[in-house]
Amino acid sequence: MDVARVVAAGSIALAGLTGGWLPLRFLLTGDGSIFGTVLALLGVVLGVVLVVVSGLLYRSSIPTRGVVRIGGWHFLGIAVLALILGLVELYVPGALPLFAAADIILVSAFAHVLIGYNDVRQIRAEELADRTQRLDVLSQVLRHNLRTEAQVLLGHADRIQRSDDLAAARAGAERVEASAESLTALNEKVGEVYWAMEFDAADAAPTSVEPALEAVADEYRDRADVTVDCACPTGTRVLAGDRLDRAVGYLVADALVDNDADPEVTLAAEAVNDGVEVSVTSPGGRITDEERELLEGDADITQLNHSRTIDLWVAQWIADAYGGEFHIAEDAPGSRVALRLPRADA
């Protein structure tokens, strides 16, 4: 049983039952005034509607966090009006009959349920637009890379078949192996994108920053001079998971593309406000204006540079999934890309 969903939907039903009971009691014991009867009927109807809405919300396809969000809006509508009516009662005791006050609160509760539903729908629309963009990226990358690698594999296979020299055949086989490894790496990135598309980092947990950076540094030290500079308190942790290492690794891999013969990369972490900024800096790295525009959403997705920008995209989406931010420095020499993640102990 989803407790959060039950509590959120149940609070709406409880408000409908409690708020609707007061007008109903007036109908059963009231003075028979036509205006009072109309007001009481309105309250009963709103109470019933809220109970029905709570059941529909619970059984709906809206994610639990959306139902909780709607429940939060509903609670806000009740709390604000109840506070105002309480102050009115203190100022002018008996100014409003109890059933009339219940009517007003029920109207506010119902209105805020509608506001909450619209809010959730708008958030969902933004998430779907983001999901569509990510699928477009995947489509562009997969079509380009699979076509390219397929051509490479076919070419090398043909050379191996035609070769009479064992050394040439072995060289072709090595190139085939390299292409297969490239496709395997692409498959892993596709998996990361699909994971990030779920908008829910289920593996998020307090993760130590410095060990994660050291693990990535060890992986790339055979390809570059990689250093780690952790300018934050020892034991600093962020809300992330295993994919934090992969996100930083993608940033390092991107920084090494088209780098000089002796590339240098610095992995740094710095405490900022209630988060930690993890950055990857390389004096020989390069991020083009076109790539910057793509990552910041200012360019057409069809301009994607298939050979390298996918690393930055995946790192950005992993940071988004963990509730973090992605940032490209404007004036840093070479390249500097940072992920700002929430601190676990903030």
Q: What is the pLDDT of residues 102-148, one digit of tens each?
A: 888 999 999 999 999 999 888 888 777 777 776 776 677 667 667 77
Report the alpha-carbon distance of residue 249 to residue 215 in Å, rounded.
9
pLDDT at 290: 63
pLDDT at 331: 66
Burial label, 154 (beta-carbon count in 10 A; 0-12, 13-18, 19+): exposed
Structure pTM? 0.60
Q: What is the pLDDT of residues 283-313, one digit of tens each?
A: 887 776 666 666 665 445 555 544 455 778 8
Burial label, 212 (beta-carbon count in 10 A; 0-12, 13-18, 19+): buried
179: its two tokens: 């292409």
341: its two tokens: 């993640």
pLDDT at 196: 64
Cβ(16)–Cβ(51) below 8 Å: yes
Low-confidence ranges of the chain (pLDDT < 50): 298-299, 305-307
pLDDT at 137: 67
pLDDT at 145: 66
Total number of residues shown for the chain:
346
List the one residue out of 314, 339, 319 whose CA is nearest residue 138.
314
pLDDT at 307: 44
